[in-house]
């Protein structure tokens, strides 16, 4: 509980929502099922939803990211039941998701889409009672869009990940800071002067590259999208294919949301002592299966697996799972960042409760007013004021008749 309270003091936006929820009880009697990383910030989201009157059932969205002490504390919060356990095997992981689904949720909050996938494949009898859902991360939104394209998604889901107040802060700054913290605290190696390869120059990748540059690393970016590759180049980084980067990098960080980004042919080209970490959602970006089947695992300790490949030793952090949460000391994103993401989640859950029945099945954007409300609340918490458009400026921006 101390961890949860520690986080709470740096979550003013979610805190204000909690106060409002306590008064207005907008989720009274609503059953909410969640699969998110079970740690202190998430606990504050669950408590906020419960303060709004919801009955919350929660489990993890990754077998290695649960903090067991937080999971236990969550069970002590009125209106919240937690089923997550650190180190759960695949069967236990899905059993816990099933337990969440047994609560017959009307709203589902997912991170990576495993919960919604389970609902649509193994627990279809429950779909009709779901009003709608929210998805937290890029990979989950990709999966949801693929489902919607094939007309398989049976209820509306808000893509919380895609809204500016989420990805400009959570993906960029959150992943950037917390992944580097995780790598540094696990390995204790110096970043300054190192050649660090960042795979993917999306929201997470550009945050990582920027922070690495700030620490004095020589950053190499790999991409498959020409525009993003060019952006990385003009932001001052070297751009090259992974085949070439493999031989140069001393640290590798994948953040593509894709599969097989670092694979057998890359491992064999790597320098002795290369360190590999994944910051993308699933453990498929680095081909761990190939390493386990074909390389010699020489040691496993404290979140570092060391393998012998082609006469050299390479080190993989957190079994290739998202490094900022899955290393033994992983705490995930900094608290202030999750204050914004989870404020969005809480407000979107309230929106779905009141408007979800009128929304078409499919992927929906976060309503603009919610995104703006969160931004304004954060500015207010920081005691920062900004300018307001004058009526003349407002009219100018709306007109098409004024030119030179
Ligand atoms: P994004 O879509 O903005 O960026 C991904 C980039 O990777 C794109 O530019 C894409 O062109 C590139 N890419 C795809 N395949 C590639 C390949 N084979 N080689 C090189 N580049 C490739 O996505 P975003 O928001 O940056 O998210 C990336 C991943 O990180 C997702 O899996 C997301 O769910 C996850 N994520 C992880 C967080 C964490 O806490 N570690 C937090 C937020 C997101």
* Ligand 1 proximity of 61 Cβ (cutoff 6 Å): no
Which residue has its alpha carbon closest to ligand 1 atom 40? 175
Residue at token pair 């499919």: 362
Q: Distance between CA 113 and CA 138 in Å, rounded?
A: 10
Is 4's pLDDT higher than 90? yes
Q: Distance between CA 233 and CA 249 in Å, rounded?
A: 17
* Ligand 1 proximity of 278 Cβ (cutoff 6 Å): no
* Ligand 1 proximity of 280 Cβ (cutoff 6 Å): yes
Give pLDDT, residue 402. 86
* Ligand 1 proximity of 261 Cβ (cutoff 6 Å): yes
**Cα 284 to the chain's mean position, in Å?**
16
Q: Distance between CA 111 and CA 393 in Å, rounded?
A: 41
Which residue has its alpha carbon closest to ligand 1 atom 9? 202
Is 300's pLDDT higher than 90? no
The predicted model gives 43-48 an average pLDDT of 98
* Ligand 1 proximity of 181 Cβ (cutoff 6 Å): no
* Ligand 1 proximity of 281 Cβ (cutoff 6 Å): yes
List Cβ neighbours of 303 (8 Å cut-off, separation of 6 or more): 186, 317, 318, 326, 327, 328, 329, 330
Q: Give the bridge partners for 218, in sequence order.
A: 195
Tokens of 297: 């695992």
Is 383 buried (19+), middle (13-18) or exposed (0-12) by CB count in 10 A?
Answer: exposed
Q: How far is the centre of ligand 1, averaged over its atoms, from the C-alpha of 318 (Å)? A: 18
Is 64's pLDDT higher than 90? no
Is 140's pLDDT higher than 90? yes
Q: Which numbered atom of ligand 1 lies nearest the CA of 258?
A: 15
Q: Where are the domains of the chain?
A: 2-166+333-381, 174-326
Total number of residues shown for the chain: 404
Closest listed residue to residue 304, CA positions, set 271, 259, 273, 265: 273
For the ranges 63-67, 204-208, 283-287, 367-371, the lowest mean pLDDT is seen at: 63-67
List Cβ neighbours of 184 (8 Å cut-off, separation of 6 or more): 191
Fold observed for domain 174-326: Rossmann fold (3.40.50)
Vertex 339, ends 100 and 335: CA angle to 5°?
Answer: 95
- Span 310-327, pLDDT tens digits: 999 999 999 999 999 999
Q: Check if the beta carbon of residue 309 is closer than 8 Å to that of residue 295.
A: yes
- Span 315-358, pLDDT tens digits: 999 999 999 999 988 889 999 999 999 999 999 999 999 999 99
Confidence of residue 400 (pLDDT cuts 50, 70, 90): very high
Confidence of residue 304 (pLDDT cuts 50, 70, 90): very high
Confidence of residue 404 (pLDDT cuts 50, 70, 90): confident
C-alpha dist (Å) from residue 367 to 67, 159, 162, 341 = 32, 10, 11, 14
Hey, which of 280, 287, 342 would you mutate to test ligand 1's pocket, going by the most ligand atoms within 8 Å of its Cβ? 280
The predicted model gives 210-232 an average pLDDT of 98
Q: Which CATH class is domain 2-166+333-381?
A: alpha beta
Calculate the average pLDDT of the chain: 96
Is 379's pLDDT higher than 90? yes
Q: Check if the beta carbon of residue 314 is closer than 8 Å to that of residue 290.
A: no
Give pLDDT, residue 303. 94
* Ligand 1 proximity of 225 Cβ (cutoff 6 Å): yes
Q: How far is the centre of ligand 1, averaged over its atoms, from the C-alpha of 353 (Å)? A: 30
Give pLDDT, residue 286. 98
- The H-or-E segment that residue 200 falls in is none
Give pLDDT, residue 63. 87
Give pLDDT, residue 315. 98
* Residues of the chain by 3-state class (helix, strand, coil), percent to 5: 50, 15, 35
The predicted model gives 7-25 an average pLDDT of 97
* Ligand 1 proximity of 306 Cβ (cutoff 6 Å): no
Give pLDDT, residue 329. 85
Q: Distance between CA 246 and CA 240 in Å, rounded?
A: 10
Percent of the chain clearing pLDDT 70 (strictly above): 100
Q: How far is the centre of ligand 1, averaged over its atoms, from the C-alpha of 103 (Å)? A: 33
Q: What is the DSSP pairing of strand 362-364 with strand 312-317?
A: unpaired
- Contacts of 241-246 with CB under 8 Å at 24 or more apart are 242/197, 242/199, 242/266, 243/269, 245/197, 245/220, 246/197, 246/270
Hey, which of 61, 64, 145, 171 would you mutate to test ligand 1's pocket, going by the most ligand atoms within 8 Å of its Cβ? 171
* Ligand 1 proximity of 205 Cβ (cutoff 6 Å): yes
Confidence of residue 299 (pLDDT cuts 50, 70, 90): confident
Closest listed residue to residue 36, CA positions, set 52, 57, 5, 55: 57
- Span 259-296, pLDDT tens digits: 999 999 999 999 999 999 999 999 999 999 999 999 99
């Amino acid at each position: 509980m101390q961890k949860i309270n520690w986080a709470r003091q740096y979550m003013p936006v979610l805190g204000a929502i909690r106060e409002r929820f306590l008064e207005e009880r907008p989720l009274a009697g609503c059953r909410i099922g969640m699969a998110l990383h079970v740690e202190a910030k998430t606990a504050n989201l669950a408590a906020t939803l419960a303060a709004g009157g919801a009955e919350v059932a929660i489990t993890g969205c990754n077998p290695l990211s649960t903090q067991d002490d937080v999971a236990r504390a969550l069970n002590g919060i009125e209106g919240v039941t937690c089923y997550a356990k650190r180190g759960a095997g695949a069967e236990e992981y899905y059993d816990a998701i099933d337990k969440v689904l047994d609560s017959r949720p009307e709203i589902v909050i997912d991170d990576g889409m495993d919960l919604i996938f389970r609902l649509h494949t193994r627990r279809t009898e429950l779909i009709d009672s779901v009003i709608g859902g929210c998805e937290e991360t890029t990979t989950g939104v990709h999966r949801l869009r693929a489902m919607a394209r094939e007309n398989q998604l049976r209820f509306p889901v808000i893509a919380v990940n895609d809204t500016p107040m989420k990805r400009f802060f959570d993906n960029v700054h959150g992943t950037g800071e917390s992944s580097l913290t995780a790598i540094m605290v696990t390995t204790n190696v110096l970043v300054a002067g190192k050649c660090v390869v960042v795979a993917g120059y999306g929201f997470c990748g550009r945050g990582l590259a920027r922070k690495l540059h700030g620490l004095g690393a020589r950053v190499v970016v790999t991409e498959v999208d020409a525009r993003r590759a060019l952006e990385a180049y003009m932001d001052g980084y070297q751009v090259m294919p992974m085949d070439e980067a493999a031989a140069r990098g001393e640290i590798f960080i994948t953040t593509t949301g894709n599969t097989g980004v670092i694979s057998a042919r890359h491992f064999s080209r790597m320098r002795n002592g290369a360190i590999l970490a994944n910051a993308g959602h699933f453990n498929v970006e680095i081909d761990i299966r190939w390493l386990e089947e074909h390389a010699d695992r020489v040691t496993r300790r404290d979140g570092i697996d060391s393998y012998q490949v082609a006469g050299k030793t390479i080190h993989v952090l957190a079994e290739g799972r998202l490094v900022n949460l899955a290393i033994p000391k992983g705490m995930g994103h900094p608290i202030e960042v999750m204050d914004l993401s989870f404020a969005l989640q809480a407000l979107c859950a309230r929106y779905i409760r009141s408007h979800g029945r009128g929304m078409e099945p499919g992927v929906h954007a976060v309503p603009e007013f919610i995104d703006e409300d969160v931004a304004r609340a954060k500015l207010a918490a920081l005691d920062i004021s900004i300018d307001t458009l004058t009526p003349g400026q407002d009219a100018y921006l709306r007109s098409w008749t004024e030119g030179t």
